[in-house]
Amino acid sequence: MYKTVLITGASRGIGRAIACAFAREGCRLVINCSHSEKELLALADELRETCHVDVLTSIGDVSDYTYMEQLFSQSEARFGGIDILVNNAGISHIGLLEDMTIDEWNRIIGVNLTSVFSASKLALPHMIHQKSGKILNISSIWGNVGASCEVAYSACKGGINSFTRALAKELAPSNIQVNAIACGVIDTEMNSCFSEEERAQLAEEIPAGRFGAPEEVASLAVQITTGNDYLTGQIITLDGGYL
């Protein structure tokens, strides 16, 4: 498979695993992060050496539309356009809604939801021109059911789910598929806030008896974006039977 894949938030966790999975498939990569430049550059070097793929790195804030325009301009100059877009970048916020500031609200909406709009909009001209393309949004089970003390995060992920379904209908005539993975509890730094006791208690609540691995999300991401062109508008839950 000789495709160009753009992955936001790729320096660690799920994004890193997805970048590695696509590199093993021989894809050219555009990988982004906002702060972890050292980790992102190290990942790029690793993938160039082990998978022999071309990797473009970019450091910037995905909530900034001007930066996103620059990112896609650089990607098009290097590779001619994006064939597969993975909207993975995300941040969390845990706390009572009454204690949340408007700046904190705007920040999480910008990074988690507005970035999905920006990247999708900017990816579309190339995809529509070639009458093919895949957009995959990394969502959460909390976008399906909501989580106490994570109102803003849940709202973002719920918005991503509706965005996915609506855009899939809009783009189906152009042979562009849009899907999302609603992740359960995945073993990443985002869940490092739990103590060992809390992790054990949470794992007991999951029928699979454990947290998911980033590599499992990555494997599903590759399957969704390289397989059936009739699969679109779906929110695919990956949670070990949790909900």
User: Given 65, 153, 230, 242, which residue is catalytic?
Assistant: 153
CA distance 18 to 16: 5
Q: Which two tokens stand for residue 195?
A: 């103590």
CA dist 217 → 17, 64, 124, 196, 231 (Å): 8, 26, 24, 23, 17
Instruction: Residue 234: name the closest of 226, 222, 224 by CA.
Output: 224
Whether residue 153 lies in the annotated active site: yes
Q: How many beta carbons lie within 10 A of that of residue 31, not counting itself?
A: 28
Instruction: Residue 107: name the closest of 34, 183, 36, 14 by CA.
Output: 34
Q: Which amino acid is at 29?
A: L
Q: Looking at residue 211, what DSSP letter applies?
A: P
Instruction: Residue 232: name the closest of 178, 151, 193 by CA.
Output: 178
Q: Which residues are catalytic?
A: 153
